[in-house]
A and B are shown apart, each in its own frame.
Chain A
């Protein structure tokens, strides 16, 4: 029999969009009581790991948009993260005595978005000239961008009356973030990127990865999509930066060097380039495992590296390849 008599049959058994929208709203709202009880009953260390997992998910999923889905090779994600982290850290530290109580939540939302926007603008500025480059050359250019950010942050002691910290780092940033803020952004990041790329308007991201020449011949402005991937990816990296700055309370330019970028790339590759749920899984795994291996401190990096080698030998396409965990096919909608 005909496999698909009509488009309606393609969507059989699908949850309607309004229900998903409602679900997303409920999940975000439910995070509030969950977060409050976590603060009360859960060990600080565990909560800290949970939040770092959330930050890692945002970083991995947003880099996946650039590297896995659009097929570019960015090694500068930590640079975008640094811009967000410093934007948030510097502002929140400077104004910490003016903002408290009821003022804090809206200000924190604003600062987080601002951190994302600063990173996004950097994504635009870096994206436009470097996207003429391909493969290794793009990797090197973005790597250079990330290193420049680190070097510059090392040099800047302050901007006007705002303390930046220079090579000594920035300390005593208010610990604003919590489980709720982090996972609300996790949900937003995953839903936004998934909906975007699995839609009519976002399919060209994949087309650019698959074959740029063919994509252009289909009327796709490939430069536009590549820059868009960089801007959106950088935005969420900036958001992740603000969240992590307000988790630890300390910022050090060295936290954002190329090693950090490579760790995020490894998450994307391990989860499966192009698979959003794969990135989520890998981010959880590669943040949680090192914690568990803390007992074998000396062996931690060796075990970590071995895991990667085994993975690349056994399943070079990553955990999920370029499939999603719960969708049968790529046309499925979130």
Chain B
């Protein structure tokens, strides 16, 4: 049984079929890609899995239990964290607070402890701060701790969003075009970072990316979507050689 298993998933928006017959499996520690041209339905898959949309067909299983149609906050508590294609940080809050908020479910003390600032509450907060700083060090953001998130440049914002997602201690990390808008050097560094995260946190990572070369270099397997249909599945090499992919994706990209 895979960690994350998706069976025959489909969704219609007012009669328009945006996704159909989607199957997928992800195991702990894997790094798998999801690619496809604009409007293929990639973000839609992420939105269904994270509870933003309710599927009209199929099922999503985490650890063998269905999570389809659950509210987004419950899906996260089950162990799935994500980032957004159009970055969604807590812009007015500090870099540190963004990550600390990710730890919200690990807070064990109650409201009373908070009001009197009990020893236990303080110790717990210190522990989370320690952990948050460690996380931000990994993401090379430690010298921006007190800056508000919206003052960061594009690249650091994307990194912060990943750090914040990891703070919720996920089993599955879903990244929606984390390299979008970055320059080639930043992209290379990010991919290296994502690889390191996979090893260090032992999470399963599912990655949407437009840049074929980039995904091919890091992913073990990938799925190719076009118009809501899965047109190819396999290793980067297999996918790359698939005539359907060349036609639907690479073909267009070359124009």
Contacts and interface: CB of A to CB of B under 8 A. Distances in A.
A201 B81 CA distance: 20
Nearest to B128: A200
Given A21-B117, A199-B125, A330 B84 contact: no
Contact of B88 (A3, A200, A203, A214): A214
Interface residues of A, number: 44
A309 interface: no
Given A3-B142, A207-B90, A330-B97, A200 B103 contact: yes
A192 interface: yes
Contact of A201 (B111, B130, B133): B111
Interface in B106-129: 107, 109-111, 114-117, 121-122, 124-129
B93 to A, nearest CB: 6
B234 interface: no
Given A202-B114, A331-B97, A210 B104 contact: no
Interface in B58-93: 71-73, 76-77, 81-82, 84, 88-93
Contact of A199 (B92, B114, B133): B114
On chain B, which size bracket covers the interface? 35 or more
Nearest to A9: B133
Of A200, A329, A331, chain B has the most CB atoms within 10 Å of the CB of A200
B100 interface: yes
Nearest to B77: A219
B130 A200 contact: no
B100 A331 contact: yes
Given A200-B128, A216-B73, A219-B104, A210 B111 contact: no
Contact of B73 (A8, A21, A199, A221): A221
A286 interface: no
Judged by DSSP, the binding face of B is: helix
B231 interface: no
Contacts of A20: 117
Contact of B94 (A21, A191, A329, A333): A329
A214 B73 contact: no
A218 B146 contact: no
A218 B168 contact: yes
Nearest to A3: B143
B100 A203 contact: yes
Question: Which of A3, A192, A218 has the largest number of chain B CB atoms within 10 A?
Answer: A218
A203 B97 contact: yes
A219 B73 contact: yes
Interface of A: 2-4, 6-8, 10-11, 17, 20-21, 191-192, 195-196, 199-204, 206-207, 209-211, 213-222, 274, 322, 328-331, 333-334
Please give me the 7 A-B residue pairs with the lowest Cβ-Cβ distance, nearest first: A7-B129, A17-B117, A210-B90, A219-B76, A214-B88, A216-B72, A7-B130
Given A214-B88, A217-B88, A322-B92, 14 more contacts: A4-B133, A6-B133, A195-B114, A203-B97, A211-B88, A214-B84, A216-B72, A217-B72, A217-B73, A217-B81, A218-B101, A219-B105, A220-B104, A274-B92
9 contacts: A4-B145, A17-B117, A196-B111, A200-B100, A201-B104, A204-B104, A206-B92, A217-B82, A218-B104
